[in-house]
Amino acid sequence: MGIFRRLFGGGDEGPKEPVDTAWHFYVKSNYADEIIDIRVDPNADLSPEFDGPGDSASHYTSNKDIIGAKSFRTINLYLVFDSSRAFTGDYTIQGGELVDQAAYDAWKARETAESAGDGDTDEG
Domain membership of residue 7 (yes or no) is no
Residue 3 lies in a domain: no
Give pLDDT, residue 119.
Answer: 53
pLDDT at 77: 98
Contacts for 71 with CB less than 8 Å, ≥ 6 apart: 29, 31, 32, 34
How many Å apart are CA 78 and CA 65, to the nearest integer? 9
Domain that holds residue 108: 20-116
Say if 106 falls within a structural domain: yes
Number of independent structural domains in the chain: 1
Give the containing element (helix H, strand E) for 77: strand 75-81
105 in any annotated domain? yes
Residue 124 lies in a domain: no
How high is the mean pLDDT in each 10-residue block of the chain (124 residues)?
62 71 95 96 94 88 96 96 95 98 96 78 49
Q: Does 2 reside within a domain?
A: no
In a domain, 14, yes or no: no
Whether residue 1 lies inside any domain: the answer is no
